Amino acid sequence: MLIFMLIFAALLVLCPLALSRRLLVRRYMLPCQKCSTPARFAVIADLHSSLYGEGQAALIEAVRKEAPDAVFLVGDIVDDRRPEEPAWMLLQALAAEFPCYYVSGNHEYRSGCCDAIKQTISGFGVTVLAGQCATLTLANGQAFCIAGVDDPAFWGGYSTYGGYPVPQEWSAQLEFCAAVAQRTSACSILLSHRPELYAPYCSSGFDFIFSGHAHGGQVRIPGIVNGLFAPCQGWFPKYAGGSYALGETTLIVSRGLCRNHLPRVFNRPELVLVTIAPKNML
């Protein structure tokens, strides 16, 4: 009990730092021998219609500064209780400069307008993936297989907190994408909102999986607690945010960009940048 009291007292002293909502750019370097040259990708998760300056200027400039080869939007970009306009500002600006790929999250489903949201996003020039694969070819000729699945809540029956059972339709989307990815020699990337579905990810055969949803466990204590609570994972979630080895697959979980709802403690909103390259070039 004394330890927790001391931790709580330290949090109060460090409150301005603990509750900072300043944007953080978090970088990962991932080896892949299927790649001949480095490629850089921005991962945007769980925006929840949050606003980063007028016209989303701060977030757009942060992405632009990193000059990614593509931008991956891994769900909950639009919130079900907040105005949609901040999300539209961001997507319209990014799609004008970068190849963008999107998969749905549970809050888009909860809005009751998921199909309309997808149509709007597609209208900006963003590739919407719902159980499909797309080939991304960079300027240097290097190709990537980009796959994406809908959030399992899209079909109902997948509780935000209970989780299972996973809808058969979601499993069918994943199996189709995995089969396509396994037939290509290109580096394969799966976009999927939920990190707690690690079991089917392990056997999927993708090189990399990018997700969000956990919001970093909302409360973190650096070096002690990586996340306090996350939907479908409960208390002290294992996949709250970071890089995780799942057999031959690497799962990257973004802590997300939401700053509308609950306070984030030692858990700054983050823009994730992933560099994928041959091991000898990292």
Which of these, 189, 199, 231, lies nearest to 212 by C-alpha position? 231
Is the Cβ–Cβ distance between 129 and 191 less than 8 Å?
yes
Which of these, 242, 256, 213, lies nearest to 109 by C-alpha position? 213
Least confident of 121-130, 182-191, 201-210, 223-232: 223-232
Least confident of 25-34, 93-102, 108-117, 157-166: 157-166
Which of these, 268, 257, 255, lies nearest to 216 by C-alpha position? 255
Instruction: Classify the phi-psi angles of 125: left when phi > 0, otherwise alpha if psi is within -120 to 50, otherwise beta.
Output: left
Q: What domains can you pick out in the chain, each with its CATH number?
A: 26-281 (3.60.21.10)
- Where b means 16+ CB within 10 Å and e means fewer, 92-123 reads bbbbeebbbbbbbbbbbbbbeebeebbebbee
Cis peptide before 152 (omega within 30 of 0): no
**CB 256: neighbour CB atoms within 10 A?**
29
Query: What pLDDT is stored for residue 160 in this prediction?
Result: 55
Of residues 164 and 133, the one with the higher pLDDT is 133
Query: What pLDDT is stored for residue 161 in this prediction?
Result: 54
Q: Is the pLDDT at 13 greater than 70, yes or no?
A: no
pTM for this predicted structure: 0.92
Structure tokens at 191: 């976009």
- What is the chain's alpha carbon radius of gyration, rounded to the nearest angstrom? 18
Q: If pLDDT is split at 50, 70 and 90, which confidence band does 186 have?
A: very high
CA distance 151 to 145: 20
**CB 164: neighbour CB atoms within 10 A?**
13
CA distance 56 to 100: 17
DSSP SS3 for 121: helix
Is the Cβ–Cβ distance between 215 and 6 less than 8 Å?
no
CA distance 187 to 208: 8
Tell me how far apart the terminal alpha carbons of the chain are, to the nearest angstrom. Answer: 44
Query: What pLDDT is stored for residue 154 in this prediction?
Result: 87
What is the arithmetic mean of pLDDT over 217-236? 88
Of residues 16 and 128, the one with the higher pLDDT is 128
CA distance 82 to 39: 34
Structure tokens at 98: 């970068």
Percent share of the chain, pLDDT over 90 = 67
